[in-house]
């Protein structure tokens, strides 16, 4: 297979995977994606939005955490598989352009897996913070 086709296809797919959800959120066509982005922003900021309902946010954070926790293992497996594909291609073709594309893909998948692991830890910290309440004692509505 021509490496240019793989590179162009990967670049177009990556741009589409990034741009289309942004367009759907900004245009208001996907409230579900907007809600997911709001949760991701709260997790990365380490704080809930002002005047947030703790009960509903706890549920949203737990759902996001579970989703990311499952996905990180899939991402890790994909990165490891791509690493083996890279090694096989390297043994077969040497240092061709396609081999380096595979190596870059494997590296990105593994970096994403570790980023997802970090996001799970941040979600855990935020959940612990909202369960503790403002004074550090357990919130009575924490259940």
Instruction: Say what the pLDDT of residue 2 is.
Output: 74
Alpha-helical segments (H) within the chain: 3-27, 31-45, 54-93, 97-132
> Is the C-alpha dihedral spanning 32, 38, 42, 47 positive or negative?
negative
Instruction: Say what the pLDDT of residue 127 is.
Output: 92
Reported as a single tens digit per residue, the pLDDT across 97-140 is: 888 888 998 999 999 999 999 999 999 999 998 887 665 444 44
The residue with greater pLDDT, 64 or 94, is 64
Reported as a single tens digit per residue, the pLDDT across 34-72 is: 888 899 999 999 999 888 888 889 999 999 999 999 999
| Helix, strand, or coil (residue 141) | helix
| Residue 141: pLDDT over 60 | no
> Under a CB-based contact definition with an 8 Å cutoff, are residues 96 and 3 in contact?
yes
Confidence of residue 26 (pLDDT cuts 50, 70, 90): confident
Instruction: Say what the pLDDT of residue 139 is.
Output: 47
* C-alpha–C-alpha distance, residues 57 and 129, integer Å: 12
| Residue 142: pLDDT over 50 | no
* C-alpha–C-alpha distance, residues 114 and 73, integer Å: 10
Instruction: State pTM to two decimals.
Output: 0.73
DSSP letter string over 23-49? HHHHHTS-HHHHHHHHHHHHHHHTSPP
């Amino acid at each position: 297979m021509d490496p240019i086709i793989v590179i162009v296809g990967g670049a177009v797919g990556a741009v589409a995977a990034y741009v289309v959800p942004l367009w759907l959120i900004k245009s208001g066509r996907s409230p579900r994606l907007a809600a997911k982005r709001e949760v991701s922003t709260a997790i990365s900021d380490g704080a809930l939005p002002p005047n947030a309902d703790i009960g509903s946010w706890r549920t949203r954070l737990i759902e996001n955490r579970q989703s990311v926790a499952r996905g990180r293992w899939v991402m890790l497996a994909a990165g490891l598989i791509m690493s083996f594909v890279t090694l096989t291609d390297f043994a077969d073709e040497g240092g061709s352009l396609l081999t380096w594309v595979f190596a870059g893909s494997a590296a990105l998948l593994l970096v994403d897996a570790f980023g997802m692991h970090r996001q799970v830890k941040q979600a855990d910290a935020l959940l612990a913070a909202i369960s503790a309440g403002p004074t550090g004692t357990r919130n009575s509505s924490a259940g």
